[in-house]
Structure 1
């Protein structure tokens, strides 16, 4: 049987979207929640690595006292990794998308890569970094 987490002094239920929990709600979930709440936080951060939930999680993580003995489960470390890894993955996805668009534009132009680079005001070597 799993324990149900409740928010004290907050006018929101744990079933609400994580983005609506606020820093206090996320902090409560880190300290008193369980895998259900931690998964919800991680999913919200992975869905939008620079979004509201991710920024609130970052703030909540700064409030957790590392010396308090709270993080025996490793949840603070794990949540920091969720933010870092989600952002790294999103950045890599964005780089791949840009590279794909650049390759598509070069192909559609009918020009050689060097000629295309010259037309858009960059060097062939710089264009190749995409």
Structure 2
């Protein structure tokens, strides 16, 4: 039975934002999956575009290692999301409001394109300043 959009989304969020597990995050993607963060400037700490499961694994592991001890963790009780289905059953949109203690909220939109129950393409639109300390 194929995974629901909610299951795909929750798996992605848990692997990345909650547990910072690059291996688990990479496994959310197809082998040729693409991750894009179009609003992140070139040269920023957070990756702007990653192609393929192995690049996602490698680059996100390096990013998570650089972020250790930064104290940036979402407050799940105050955060929320809404998922929107589209006419294409392999595409859905997530609207997210993530609350970080002590008093920072980041609103973002993610567009997921699936293939065989995994993420084939993800576009993540968010404010780069919070996760990227060295923007040019």
Whose radius of gyration is greater, 1 or 2? Answer: 1
Q: Which has the higher contact order (CA 8 A, sep 6+)?
A: 2
| Length-normalised TM-score, structure 1 | 0.26
Q: Which has the higher strand share?
A: 2
TM-score, scaled to structure 2:
0.25
